[in-house]
């Protein structure tokens, strides 16, 4: 049994006029939008300069201060006392004075005084962005 395919009238009745109108409107919109962008760049403006400004080349790293269950401090895998942690935080603030962040990871069983000491050191050296994270075991 052969299948007969009847030619359809759908394609012949499809009007392309609205489609062409939309394409022309989009073309005009993008031409006008790029013209405004060019005018903004052509303005003769003398920009201010800063003698001490340096571009930020890499995203600053967060400093992780780990506090184990005995209250010992670890930064970068090295055990430090409170003065050593303060020195590391001061150097981090010197390297990134605008937005240095510190993550304090404390063991769940540690006395809170050790954590408060690190928070106080952050405030002392000028780190405003520090967060406290608790874990079962600090590595």
Domain presence at residue 100: yes
Q: For the whole prediction, is pTM greater than 0.95? A: no
Domain presence at residue 123: yes
Q: Above 70 in pLDDT, residue 56? A: no
Domain presence at residue 111: yes
Q: What is the CATH number of the domain that holds 125?
A: 3.30.420.270
The total number of structural domains in the chain stands at 1
Q: State how far the alpha carbon of 29 is from the alpha carbons of 20, 22, 34, 45, in Å.
A: 14, 11, 9, 27
Residue range of the domain that includes 117:
63-135
Structure confidence at residue 88 (pLDDT): 93
Domain presence at residue 105: yes
What is the overall mean pLDDT for the chain? 80
Positive or negative CA dihedral for 68, 74, 79, 80? negative
């Amino acid at each position: 049994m052969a299948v007969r395919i009847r030619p359809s009238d759908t394609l012949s009745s499809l009007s392309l006029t609205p489609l062409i109108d939309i394409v022309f409107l989009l073309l005009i919109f993008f031409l006008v939008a790029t013209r405004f962008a060019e005018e903004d760049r052509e303005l003769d403006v003398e920009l201010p300069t800063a003698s001490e400004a340096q571009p930020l080349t890499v995203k600053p790293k967060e400093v992780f201060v780990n506090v184990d269950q005995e209250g010992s401090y670890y930064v970068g895998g090295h055990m430090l006392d409170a003065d050593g942690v303060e020195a590391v935080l001061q150097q981090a603030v010197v390297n990134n004075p605008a937005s240095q962040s510190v993550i304090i990871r404390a063991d769940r069983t540690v006395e809170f005084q050790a954590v408060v000491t690190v928070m106080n050191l952050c405030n002392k050296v000028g780190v405003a962005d520090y967060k406290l994270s608790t874990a079962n075991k600090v590595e």
